[in-house]
Amino acid sequence: MSEYRPDEGSFDIGEARIAIVVARWNGEITEGLLTGARRALARHGFDEHNLEVFRVPGAFELPLATQKVLDTSRFDAVLALGCVIRGDTPHFDYVCAETTRGLGEVSLKEGKVVAFGLLTTDTLEQAQLRSADNEENKGEEAALTALEMLTLFRNL
């Protein structure tokens, strides 16, 4: 395990419901993130019946979809999964910044857990590494973040 990654603890989330909003753009990568998230949730005994997956076109749509999912009052947390790979134009910077800002804004407005699973990489190779079946999978990290934050909220 990476020296920078915290040890996994035990989580107490009760019957929490979790949504995963996943971007279809860079689908090979985002499907790897989704697989990692599901793997982490299963490892901690999360009931798959309390999970719903919603798909959006790209990363830029993650904040609005996350907001709409939370507006239903059916979910205690949302994992937002997407991938933006740097290109030759400033498009990367705008999409990354606005998606990040939007997800943070939704979380604070709703007072709910929004786990950040947006890859922002310079190369396809970096994105593949961070979405593979390994300990660097950022979808898995987003799921663990959601479980930890839900446990914290439950214990407050």
- What token pair was written down for 88? 């030759």
Q: Is 91 a catalytic residue?
A: yes
The b-or-e profile of 75-85 (16+ CB within 10 A means b, else e) is: bbbbbbbbbbb
**C-alpha count within 13 angstroms, C-beta hemisphere, residue 30:** 25
Which of 91, 101, 109, 154 is an active site residue?
91
Residue in 29, 19, 53, 51 with CA at minimum distance from that of residue 136: 29
Annotated catalytic residues are 91
